Chain A
């Protein structure tokens, strides 16, 4: 079987698996977020925290709850790292240095999981499991809660509330993330991933050398790392590490896990707004962008380097032999499109165009399908902007899902749209303009520039994957990338919730023949076009001096 055919079969089986899950998982999540009954364990949690689960929140309260929860998580995670030497099961690791601890805390709370450290040599069991793994769950649940709040904004009529953040957070964690993680972790263990709290041990290898075995609760953390589109690996090699991702079929399972929730949320959205076609339209946009991206990356990796480099195996540089070029390309595409940031190959080794595509994937603003929750609210904001321009062109005040897109909605949506490019471009420019920034580059010329651009893109989009190459564990990068992650996550969240509040207040405008239908291929095509063109226009100068300059040599 040729490697191309194998790659296509691999991709097709992923798409098939996702398609099979779309309805059942989407419907299940719909029931989770719209149900009125609380589980016993949830009641206990609400009582512990002191939350009245049946009290609905206005958007401001909802936003303050998100921020308060995240701020507390941030402090807790920072403290945990700084006090590591005093914790049990710390594997003898010392306290984490302040700028790194800040960077890592922000990184995990913002669902970015950018790692400026090497897991096996920095974090002990407690920080990994009680700190980082917990954030893997709750930061993902925060993203989903915000997305659901926005969907409620569309679905509700003349309402000033958006639901209860604490309920959404708890349900997302307990009813969605935990059960799937539990099952998937067992499967992964069956596939060869490790799950242990043991201490370091040393083994003699076949060649007679000595190797230190680093134990970890890898399988459980691996699953939520992917399912919650987190990406922070327990080992530095991330999903390229055989203890995290042992074989080709676990690789497929991992890609499935990192896309499944984001790919099924449109169904939940469709159900909640009472029109499944709207969900299909959004998921079509996601699928079109994703398939094009996968195609470009694979084509570039498999062919772009020319016959000689192919023959000597250049495309295999930075890849695991057990995955190969095509499957690595799919993982890389999926991880950058979803804001996961897990890697099973070294993105710095990708061809200029392939690597550029990975940057472009993130620059899309993690919308295809994006992070869990974050992707859905990202694409809905883009849909609002698309509807605005398209709606004017049909001669009516633009409306989406029966809600008018007026000055206030456009103000919030376009500010949302501004945040990410500002962070990426200003961050990159500052790094390139300062000696602190330039000093960290591994390569010079356009490739070096791509490395920096990738780092800020990854942080601002809460992706967390690394191009590699740049030595990012410096106070300069820890601080600036930390700021990008923080603002890149929470400024959009506040704007999205404000938008949701503004939409929920409106009464519905009934649809008529004069209303722009937002479920037809026409709108799908337009949304794809707007997403891609806006990103291209915003980032072309930077991309030209990085990947394009390198690729078009």
Chain B
């Protein structure tokens, strides 16, 4: 069966999505970038890490003035903490850069043949960069399309692999919903005339490069809110440690017999230890990984061949509560197929099948092909060459098609049209035909009546075939709290039958673009966020109105302009994956924030006894990890704090595992893993580090 139907998601050619494993080489490659990011002029944008850097500078000065192994060890690990954080961001950006490089290759300088307005078919050669909106260019086989635009004349096969990664060429033709072409793609055959729609320097490829590189990446609303919370926590811990100093000085002064230690002198807690405590307490883990999580989230979309025009759109995808899905191509395979032959009384199924097949042999529509295939599969009727046949094509006026074979005339088509044809020929349709037609309609199918001159034979039941696995996906959606609405041009009866079969929550039948827009507005007024896909120009208003509008790459420029995401694979089912990626992005941030804060408990248990057990021996009770010495305890906590960043880079890039389920279940799982895990992990980690570093000189 050859159709242009978009199948359910096929395995991606870009390798496993998310790229779970972190390549050590990639880390090393990103190291220079990570070091460059130490520049305070850029680092201040990340307040948490900026404070760590200030602390690192301060302790470096202290270590130079008063050197010791302990001091220098702390200094080194504080600097490493900042470098690791930068590394996370650099690695995340590095992945985008590779993608950008391939895109740049597609953007190499091309020339264009611009039609002059002086005479038809007269053109001049100009650089692609000089083209402006409204220019008209000619592109022939073997040439690269110089800019984004719409085909206004001709039809051609185009190789879009530079952008989509898909090697099979696609057809682009003037008019309709397949008229958009992208600059940088190559025409393989024929000749098209393209009207440029982009502004210079703002082509699709330009935007893509900017997006994947993370250039002018804007913080998303949730990211801003989280940053505020992290800043508040940072301030609290800064104050908690700073105000500890007078208390420490006092405590030391009332215990004059206790000798000064590396941690506590008559001047209070030493600078190095104070900075160590601050760095351990402020949320460095999430602070270090926050921007990497955001970049990686966009990157995950790019790997699925979806371009989000803003991070805001990705985040909104996680919040979507209503999903508008076009029936055709998304829920169903996109065309009706013969599913049953229902003969009238007195006619056998085989007779009906034969007539149906004969009438469809020359019918190249997907429906026609499906009748031939069905007849062959079910009744063993082979395709045959028929000589001397006169094919009667379908027209909008007759609303039927068929064949005249000698004296035999066979027709199939809309019930009313065919019955009229039978009556006109003097026949009398039997009563049961009406019942059969109604029955097929009621079940959501399309009845095609088959007749021979003067008598009705029966009905072909054409059915929309729902894609496999859709019901399960919609059940998942429901568990996630997302309502799915099927949009279709079918009548309500048909729409309902398919909606029931596919398991969507609701449907909008006989939908016009205005209905669609009204539905989106209604949902939004109720506080719901709406996601939809679209490709046609008449989808543009709805795409613009929806919170997440995914335009198909095959669609028109207007649609691509109106949506806030473009799916290069033009696969409408991908909307579901986009929602999942959006959720995963938020979950990763929340989980690592929880983990980061939960870590502080163990660090207190390491550092507080290390600082004060000398003056108040009772506080050694808090040293439940039995760390070997105060120096070793503090250094272990700092090392753990730095290493946990590196350890979590892969998780930040890949995202926390997400399985569609209810909010309660998700929260329970994440609380166990990242909350409880966040409390326990540092106890274990710090103890292990302590067991190793206690043998370093200066640790006892």
Contacts and interface: CB of A to CB of B under 8 A. Distances in A.
A397 B548 CA distance: 15
Contact of A514 (B248, B321, B527, B622): B321
A392 B604 CA distance: 26
Contacts of A546: 247
Interface string B620-655: 011000000000000000000000000000000000
A388 B227 CA distance: 12
A449 B229 contact: no
A541 B241 CA distance: 7
A356 to B, nearest CB: 13
Given A444-B254, A517-B664, A396 B526 contact: no
Given A396-B318, A533-B601, A540-B608, A545 B481 contact: no
Contacts of B141: none
Contact of A552 (B583, B586, B619): B619
A513 B481 contact: yes
Contacts of A390: 590, 667, 671
Most chain-B Cβ atoms within 10 A of its Cβ — which of A395, A444, A510, A552?
A395
B618 A508 contact: no
B527 A537 contact: no
A549 B612 contact: yes
A121 B79 CA distance: 61
Interface in B550-597: 582-584, 586-587, 589-591, 593-594, 597
B246 A392 contact: no
Interface stretch (A95-103, A145-153, A264-272, A399-407): A399-407
Interface string A509-553: 110111111001010001001000100111111101110110111
Interface in A363-405: 385, 388-398, 402, 405
A549 B244 CA distance: 14
Nearest to B589: A392
A537 B281 contact: yes
B608 A544 contact: yes
B527 A397 contact: no
Contact of A389 (B250, B478, B481, B590): B590
B240 A539 contact: yes
Contacts of B622: 544, 548, 552
Contact of B671 (A392, A414, A433, A526): A526
Interface string A427-456: 011101100001000001110110000000
Interface in A107-166: none
A533 to B, nearest CB: 7
Interface stretch (A77-85, A179-187, A416-424): A416-424
B40 to A, nearest CB: 25
Nearest to B663: A394
Nearest to B587: A395
Nearest to B585: A395
Interface string A219-256: 00000000000000000000000000000000000000
B319 interface: yes
Contact of A394 (B225, B587, B612): B587
B232 A396 contact: no
A546 B246 CA distance: 13
A507 interface: yes
Contacts of B225: 388, 405-407, 409-411
A395 B318 contact: yes
Contacts of A517: 663-664
A513 B232 contact: no
B587 A551 contact: no
B61 interface: no
Interface residues of A, number: 68
A404 to B, nearest CB: 9
Interface of chain A: mostly helix, strand, loop or mixed: helix
B58 interface: no
A445 B616 CA distance: 10
B236 A402 contact: no
Contact of B247 (A421, A507, A542, A548): A542
B545 to A, nearest CB: 16
Contacts of A544: 608, 612, 619, 622
Nearest to B673: A393
B43 interface: no
B599 to A, nearest CB: 10
A432 B246 contact: yes
Given A513-B480, A540-B604, A393 B240 contact: no
Given A425-B239, A541-B608, A407 B663 contact: no
Contacts of B618: 548-549, 551-553
Interface string B216-253: 00000110111011011101110111111111111100
B240 A514 contact: no
Contacts of A391: 590
Contacts of B664: 516-517, 520, 522
B528 interface: yes
B670 interface: yes
A335 to B, nearest CB: 26
A426 interface: yes
Interface in B192-237: 221-222, 224-226, 228-229, 231-233, 235-237
A310 interface: no
A358 to B, nearest CB: 19
A121 to B, nearest CB: 32
B482 interface: yes
A553 B620 CA distance: 9
Given A510-B321, A549-B619, A414 B247 contact: no
Contacts of B226: 388, 392, 410
Contacts of B617: 553
Contacts of B670: 393-394
Contacts of B483: 512
Nearest to A390: B667
A507 B526 CA distance: 8
Contact of A395 (B527, B586, B600): B586
Contact of A429 (B246, B281, B589, B593): B246
Contact of A392 (B232, B235, B241, B593): B593
A432 B250 contact: yes
A385 B318 contact: no
Contacts of B249: 432-433
B662 A426 contact: no
Given A429-B243, A514-B662, A544-B612, A396 B586 contact: yes
A415 interface: yes
B521 to A, nearest CB: 13
A402 B315 CA distance: 18
Contacts of A545: 244, 247-248, 250-251, 612, 616
B236 A385 contact: no
Interface string A192-225: 0000000000000000000000000000000000
B169 to A, nearest CB: 38
B479 interface: yes
A90 B667 CA distance: 62
Nearest to B665: A394
Interface of A: 385, 388-398, 402, 405-407, 409-411, 414-415, 417-418, 421-422, 425-426, 428-430, 432-433, 438, 444-446, 448-449, 507-510, 512-517, 520, 522, 526, 529, 533, 536-542, 544-546, 548-549, 551-553
Given A407-B225, A541-B247, 6 more contacts: A410-B229, A411-B225, A510-B528, A529-B675, A537-B601, A544-B612
25 contacts: A388-B226, A388-B229, A390-B667, A392-B587, A393-B587, A393-B674, A395-B584, A395-B587, A426-B239, A426-B243, A428-B243, A428-B247, A432-B246, A513-B478, A513-B663, A522-B664, A522-B671, A526-B667, A526-B671, A536-B601, A537-B281, A540-B240, A548-B619, A552-B619, A552-B621
Interface of B: 221-222, 224-226, 228-229, 231-233, 235-237, 239-251, 254-255, 277, 281, 315, 318-319, 321, 478-483, 525-528, 582-584, 586-587, 589-591, 593-594, 597-598, 600-601, 604, 608, 612, 615-619, 621-622, 658, 662-664, 666-668, 670-671, 674-675
